[in-house]
Amino acid sequence: MLQNDLLIRTLQKKPVERTPVWLMRQAGRYLPEYRQVREQAGHFMALCQDAEKACEVTLQPIDRFGLDAAILFSDILTIPDAMGLGLKFVGGEGPVFERPIRCAADVEKLVVPDPEDSLAYVMNAVRLIRQELHGRVPLIGFSGSPWTLASYMVEGSGSKTFSIVRRMRYQDPVLMHKLLKILSASVTEYLKAQISAGAQVVMIFDTWASLLSPQDYLEFSLPYMAETVRELKRFNAEVPVVLFSKNSGKCLKEIAESGCAGIGLDWTTSLQEARCQVGEKVALQGNIDPAVLYGTADVINSEVERVLGEFGQGSGHVFNLGHGIYPDIDPENVKVLVNAVKNLSPKYHNK
């Protein structure tokens, strides 16, 4: 039994007494207690693969700030890592694959990973976190989207232009779709396993949707996420699915038709305009600029009030950042933001 089910009820568009709040990357480098555990682990993937340490850092922001949800501590690139592409995290460069996908023969070698085999460490973490939460708040599981995973896998690393994956999209769209189909099946099985292990909400992060034009987003990204949403609803209709696609404000109506329970918004999309577009069909999550957390307490409170007012009265708003917390943010400012949401939001739910 959940002691705090605000997030679940909000995603179900049920009445709530206040707006729930959690933050993308709420467990991470801005917390000194996280940095201590990371140092003990030795490197990032070792931390992800140690269920006890992953559990510890997942719970740190819950204990410190009283957030309304925990999100599994992991990485969006676990699936391609399990496919044998040789993932490494290089200082100053970020994720790098030793064996990127560059041709049809590379795609042919890919198989959908067994979540309870090569990704068992993720499921072990989910089970332990659920156990250690003791029902305080729901646990969010997640995956990268097929398009975002493909972007890293083809490019081989992060990039300013992602020119290699974009070249594949234009020179060999058939191969691109073949890769995305394999990744869609992989994401679906991965999230099913997380749900079976105890995730109560799942989220798909499509960070590199920002590379795509609206028409390409509707061809190369959204259909593959929508297929996963359909399969997850067949698997367990009680678990809400949230889609976050960066810079997707022009496709909100189409995203809302995917069957998802919620749409994550970055700070470039107005909550008010988004609500006008999707109506009461789905909940909205977001969307304060993460840089607001550099401000004073007065500035943070003012921006929280603005965002709450932009969504307006009624349920269906999950307060969050428009992207992840920056690593040099003062944790005290996170506390100010969370408390502001808790203190300022009840008036939007009492009519």
| Residue 99 assigned ligand-binding role | no
Neighbours of 162 (CB within 10 A): 18
Q: Which of 30, 34, 152, 217 is catalytic?
A: 152
Q: Among residues 29, 64, 102, 127, which one is catalytic?
A: 29
Query: How far apart are alpha carbons 237 and 226 in whole angstroms?
Result: 14
What is the β-pairing status of strands 87-90 and 94-97? antiparallel
Measured CA to CA, the distance from residue 173 to residue 164 in angstroms comes to 13
Torsion angle, alpha carbons of 329, 327, 121, 240, to 10: 60
Judge whether 318 and 284 are in contact, CB under 8 Å. Answer: yes
Catalytic residue of the set 5, 18, 25, 190: 25
3-state DSSP assignment of residue 87: strand
Known catalytic residue: 234?
Answer: no
Instruction: Tell me if 228 is assigned to a ligand binding site.
Output: no
Is 27 known as a binding-site position?
yes
Is 185 marked within a binding site?
A: no
As a residue count, the chain comes to 351
What is the spatial distance between Cα 71 and Cα 293, in angstroms, rounded to a whole number?
20
18 is an active site residue: no
177 annotated ligand binder: no
One of 38, 136, 166, 275 is an active-site residue; which one? 38
Of 9, 64, 75, 121, the active-site residue reads: 75
Residue 323 annotated as lining a ligand binding site: yes
Q: Is 75 annotated as a binding residue?
A: yes
**Sign of the four-CA dihedral 328, 330, 335, 341:** negative
Q: Is 217 a catalytic residue?
A: no
Q: Has 28 been labeled as part of a binding site?
A: yes
Known active-site residue 75: yes
Two tokens at 134?
A: 């003791």
**What are the binding residues for substrate?**
25-29, 75, 152, 207, 323
**What are the binding residues?**
25-29, 75, 152, 207, 323
Query: Which residues have a catalytic role annotated?
Result: 25, 29, 38, 75, 152
